[in-house]
Amino acid sequence: MLDPETGNAIVFNGEIYNFQALRKECEAVGDSFRSNSDTEVIVALYRRHGVACVNKLRGMFAFVIWDDANKRVFLARDRVGKKPLNYAIVNGGIIFCSEIDPLSRHPAVSREMDLEGLELYLQLQYIPAPWTIYKSIRKLPPAHYAIFDRNGFKTECYWDVDYTKKIAISEQDALDGLEEKLTEAVRLRMIADVPLGALLSGGVDSSVVVALMAKLSGEPIRTYSIGFREEAFNELPFAEQAAKICGTAHHSEIVEGDVTHLVPALARHYGEPFADHSAVPSFFVCRTARRHVTVAMNGDGGDELLGGYPRYYLSPLQIRMGSVVPDILSASALTVLATRLSTVTSIPERAIRKMVIEYGWPELRAVPIKNEFWNDCERTIILGKHASRTLLSCWRSTYFAKAVEQAANPVDRMLWYDNHTYLSGCLLPKMDIASMHCGLETRSPLLDHKVIEYCAALPVEFKVKNRVGKYLLKKLAERYFPASFVHRRKMGFGIPLGEWLRGPLRPALDATLRNPKLMAPLDWPLIETILNEFFRTQIDHSKRLWALYMYGAWRQHCLNDDIDYKE
């Protein structure tokens, strides 16, 4: 869109949920509008407020503005990272795109592989901002804007969550406040001039969102779920129970194990290796919903909002001790400790690790130190001479240091850490790519920044209470669903990965991982060993193998291109 008053131009991806109120604000000071779009409101805000316009926006967005008067490019991304923004600085100019793959194919963009990005991927199963798999392409981090002009490229953070500033509030008032904040966030996201529905997994988060939608809607909400024949991974009965309680028009679908045909699409759409295997059911549920609607709500962000993962389930004693002990060690020392704990094998060492994590530094639970990932020791072997001795430790210590600054107890520190790493780097890109590939727009009320700020200010006992995570959100859910539904065991949005890799996916897995060209520059003998152990023994290497499979699928997609790495 062009601004005829200034000569500015904008390219915008996303939705501004408060644009109608912002439009009235602009009209009150003399602005006139030629359309009814939120895009034009951003243009008007930038005309009056410059880069500070981002502080007024409530929604999901990635946009780039050409500022004609100042001869500069202004790039901005929303607070939590719902919408992606990738860029490359080349020959004195800038190229940008929502997706990595088309950007990598621009003739001015180098396709040299970033081995740091590869190393981060092997540990995290995704590549965090600002890295990508390409040296020349970078991701603008969430809650950042950037200026590109004759002086170069500079980024600034414009928002963060402070968990140290707590409000004094009773549990009842906190619960009422949460319901009010979430209801407003849902109401804003229900404003749409196209068919609207919801992705209903059957978990607490999406069920609460659907319950609030049903309360606000004058007609049945359309809801969509997928399930599996393997009962351990099938949440369809719970989704159908929630749909019945909320009176929705519900649609469900069973996903079978042969998803080989989907893997090339995953590689193409993500544009780089991405190993969160829940991308598979995400693609299927989005495709199911898109047959009927073009906008769908989801429950993303609930675990990172109020502590929903098992690692958050701390006792009052652990929270008290973890609020005092961490100050003894610096962030860098904590990182060394986390690295050491990731490789312990003996029984005494395991006992020490348990004591350290249980009562000293529970926030170390947020660091992937489980054996199913390519941990520090194994990563050194598989990357060989390409492995870095400091990359992961520096990355971890940076976030540990900031988490300690922004939060005073281990639960809030893990929340800050997860919001700035796992949520923005893995969960949100997974859903954005899965939904946008089929033309479905997903909206996440639990990630409204005002909801996030409210929950950050709540006392820790409203998040985790006597080892119960998401305490306040579950209390809210009890207003709409039976206690037996709310307090059942958490399942997550996973797939029977091991069974699929040993079954219908085995031919494709073998063909990909036993191809040294696709696995380069990784250590192929180690890959062969892991494959043999997986198929001939009961050792579960499924997550390691899936990460390699998705890396190989990306290499296969790029096979006709010149993907280089420096020897």
Annotated binding-site residue? 38: yes
Annotated binding-site residue? 258: no
Peptide bond into 326 cis (omega under 30): no
SS3 224: strand
Annotated binding-site residue? 199: yes
Q: Which residues does residue 147 pair with via DSSP β-bridges, in sequence order? A: 74, 154
Peptide bond into 316 cis (omega under 30): no
As a dihedral over the C-alpha atoms of residue 500, residue 504, residue 505, residue 508, rounded to 10 degrees, the angle is: 170
> How many CB atoms sit inside 10 A of residue 36's CB?
11
DSSP state for residue 220 in the 8-state scheme:
P
222-228: strand order across its sheet: 249-255, 222-228, 196-199, 295-297, 441-443
SS3 197: strand
As a dihedral over the C-alpha atoms of residue 295, residue 296, residue 301, residue 303, rounded to 10 degrees, the angle is: -170
Using left for φ > 0, alpha for ψ between -120 and 50, and beta otherwise, residue 409 falls in beta
Helical ranges in 29-66 per DSSP H: 38-49
Lookup: tokens for 559:
């096979």
- Three-state secondary structure of 453-467: HHHHCCCHHHCCECC
| Residue-wise burial string across 89-126, b where 16 or more C-beta atoms lie within 10 A, e elsewhere | eeeeeebbbbbbbebbeeeebebebbbbbbbbbbbbbb
DSSP state for residue 73 in the 8-state scheme:
E
Q: At what angle do helices 115-124 and 391-406 cross, to 10 degrees?
A: 60
> How many CB atoms sit inside 10 A of residue 78's CB?
26
Q: How far is CA 369 from CA 333, 353, 390, in A?
A: 16, 11, 16
DSSP state for residue 278 in the 8-state scheme:
T
Residue among 387, 382, 207 nearest 297 (CA): 207
Task: Tell me the binding residues.
Answer: 38, 199, 226
Residues in binding site for L-glutamine: 38
Annotated binding residues for ATP: 199, 226
